Amino acid sequence: MDPEERFQSAAALLPVDLRRAVKALPDSLRGRTEEFRLRIGQPLMLSSYWGEQPLPGFTERKIAGRDLLDVLEIASQASAHTALEHFKNGFLTVPGGHRLGLCGSGVVKDGAVCNLRQLSSMALRIAREVPGVAAPVLPRLFEHGRLQNTLLLSPPGGGKTTLLRDLIRCISDGRGVPPLRVGVADERGELAAMEHGQPQMELGGRTDVMDGCPKAEAMLLLLRGMTPQVLAADEITAAADIGAFEQARGCGVALLATAHGRDLDDLSARPLYRRLQNQKLFQRLVLIRAERGIRHCQVLTAEGEEVPC
Amino acid sequence: MLKLLGAFLLALGASGLGFGAAAQLRARVRALRSLTGALAQMERELSFRLTPTPQLFSQLAQQAQPPADLFFARCRDGLSELGDKTLSEVWREALAEESDLLLEPRTWQIMESLGSVLGRFDAEQQQQAIRGCVEELRLCLHQTEADSTRLGRVYSTLGMGAGALMVILLL
């Protein structure tokens, strides 16, 4: 799927009138849009690294509760009951690999948010593939011919998943590096966007994907069953994820993961990630920064020294 | 001879009308049974497996008794237009197109209102709506069964009686 097709497939999830308007946007605005944001009582907002702006010509068209239900119905293939079960992740991955973030009045069960009673806003993030984005980074992740355990770091929406996806593709296909077998623990289905057993995103020819189950368990199952040389997972969020990485490290497998954070100080400030740092589980850190809408990657060692190009 | 044949055909037609009306009542009972059965299965699927709606409709199109199977096949096919139509509209259209369901205004209303809940809410709320719908349809079914037993005989007898009367009058 090329970027235009991806944009169209994301736009197809919007209510009919907004869908038409979004599809008629000029190319420059379409190419820049990363998210559609729908909030009850507000116009549809187009979000990009430059900020948010209302959909041109539709500032008076306010989003209603019914619009949010329509989007949920289309995105979940009229199966809100199935989709909302996965809501505990905070978002749903919809066909095409797009991410639909939901917000509203939560329903708490056994002390955890398990559902939403009333939707108030949505963020539809358009799935992106940027082939080649990993090229300048990948050689710096190798030392003595071995891929180092690597953690990609950026604030939410910074491009971690896009970079991780391209790293997986390059490593798996051996683009500029020796090809390696990659196991992907895709808990939220965002990395591969599996449909009928086939990834909708390009992840390379030597990649095995385990999706739909908790990362920690998926990684262990991949280790046992698929003998990966590299294990990749998106967004470390729980102690169990770190436990699985620790276990995998002892098996001689290189690790690729992502986490939210701006820099090393952000990592140190959170107990979960402090554990990662103390154990030096990751020998490479890739910090993704955006300046004037352009993303730059900085590769650091575990000690915080920059790895030159 | 021609007169005899005409009288015989008239008798046959009148009886046919009576039997037809009785058969219509039995068909209505069968349709309501198949619908309540299919909806009960739908509720179980949602309760135990959270089956996605497209899969649920496909399953019911294959497993439900006729004519509910035809109705769910229409719903399954209609899902391809999701986005341009809501599930509620797809459901309503399938109800309108599947004439074998023989829905009366009351049963039509019960079924139509279910369409506005399906696929839009969490499993618990949908199950609740399906249970309510099944209960109301069962009440209609009991009524229709009673009508079928009582009126079925009446219609058949009336048909035959009317036929016989016309034969007597003509001969």
Buried b / exposed e over B90-111, threshold 16 CB at 10 Å, is bbbbbbeebeebbbeeebeebb
More confident residue, A246 or B54: B54
Has residue A201 got a pLDDT over 80? yes
Cα–Cα distance measured from residue B51 to residue A3, given in angstroms and rounded to the nearest whole number: 32
Q: What is the pLDDT of residue A262?
A: 84
Chain A contact for B120 (CB, 8 A cutoff): yes
- Enumerate residues 6+ apart whose C-beta is below 8 A from B139: none
Q: What is the pLDDT of residue A293?
A: 66
Buried b / exposed e over A73-87, threshold 16 CB at 10 Å, is bbbbbbbbbbbbebb
Report the predicted TM-score, pTM, of the whole model to 2 decimal places.
0.74
List the one residue out of A35, A54, A272, A38 whose CA is nearest residue A156: A35
Residues B87 and B118 sit within 8 Å (Cβ to Cβ): yes
Cα–Cα distance measured from residue B76 to residue B44, given in angstroms and rounded to the nearest whole number: 19
Select from A13, A81, A115 the Cβ nearest to the Cβ of B126: A81
Q: What is the pLDDT of residue A113?
A: 67
More confident residue, B35 or B161: B35
Q: What is the pLDDT of residue A47?
A: 92
More confident residue, A243 or A181: A181
A104 contacts in B (CB within 8 Å)? none
Q: Report pLDDT digits (tens) over A120-179.
A: 999 999 988 888 889 999 999 999 889 999 999 998 878 899 899 999 999 999 998 899
**Reduced to 3 states, what is the DSSP secondary structure of residue B2?**
helix
CA atoms within 13 A on the CB side of A252: 3
Q: What is the pLDDT of residue A97?
A: 82
Q: Report pLDDT digits (tens) over A45-104.
A: 999 877 899 999 898 999 999 899 889 889 888 888 888 777 766 788 887 888 899 888
Chain B contact for A12 (CB, 8 A cutoff): yes
Q: Report pLDDT digits (tens) over A245-297.
A: 888 887 889 999 998 888 888 878 888 787 777 778 889 999 998 776 677 88
Q: Report pLDDT digits (tens) over A3-58.
A: 788 889 899 999 999 999 999 999 888 888 999 999 999 999 999 877 899 999 89
CB contact under 8 Å between A80 and B84, yes or no, is no
**Reduced to 3 states, what is the DSSP secondary structure of residue B89?**
helix
Has residue A195 got a pLDDT over 80? no
pLDDT grade, residue A235 (50/70/90)? confident
Chain A contact for B163 (CB, 8 A cutoff): no
DSSP string for B23-72? HHHHHHHHHHHHHHHHHHHHHHHHHHH---HHHHHHHHHHHSPTTHHHHH
Cα–Cα distance measured from residue B85 to residue B89, given in angstroms and rounded to the nearest whole number: 6
